[in-house]
Amino acid sequence: MRSRYSAYVLNNVDYLFKSWSQLTRPTKTSLQQDQPNQWLGLEIIRTERGSASDVEGVVEFIARYRVGMGESQLHEVSRFIREKGHWVYLDGNY
């Protein structure tokens, strides 16, 4: 989760694409931001599963950001799965 947040901060579309499950992955073009947000911080609320022996895990987080003159936040419960031995983002509920 933290690495994906960092990729959003850096607008690293390649990393976001690679770290997204092949089952739900959007196109690279749709991941590109015309006006990148100014990310202000990430708070991990809770995690479930996700140890070395698990094949899926959950991360609840709040990511704060600024768009234009206003500040907002994304509060999501994300699901991650293992694909080819690597954790990847599957989907999330807001």
Report domain extents, the chain. 2-93
pLDDT at 90 over 80: yes
Q: What pLDDT, on a 0 to 100 scale, did the predictor assign at position 69? A: 85
pLDDT band, residue 44 (cuts 50/70/90): very high
CATH class, 2-93 region: alpha beta
pLDDT attached to residue 63: 97
- The residue assigned the tokens 């140890």 is 51
Q: Is the pLDDT of residue 73 over 90?
A: yes
Question: For 43, what's the count of Cα atoms within 13 Å in the CB-facing half-sphere?
Answer: 8
pTM above 0.75, yes or no: yes
What lies within 8 Å, CB to CB, of 51 at 6+ separation is: 57
CB 51 within 8 A of CB 75: no
CA distances from 69 to 3, 39, 65, 66, 77 (A): 26, 13, 11, 7, 27
User: Distances from the Cα of 52 to the Cαs of 5, 36, 44, 56, in angstroms?
Assistant: 21, 34, 19, 10
Q: What is the pLDDT of residue 34?
A: 77
Q: In the prediction, which pLDDT does 35 show? A: 75
Does 43 score more than 90 pLDDT?
yes
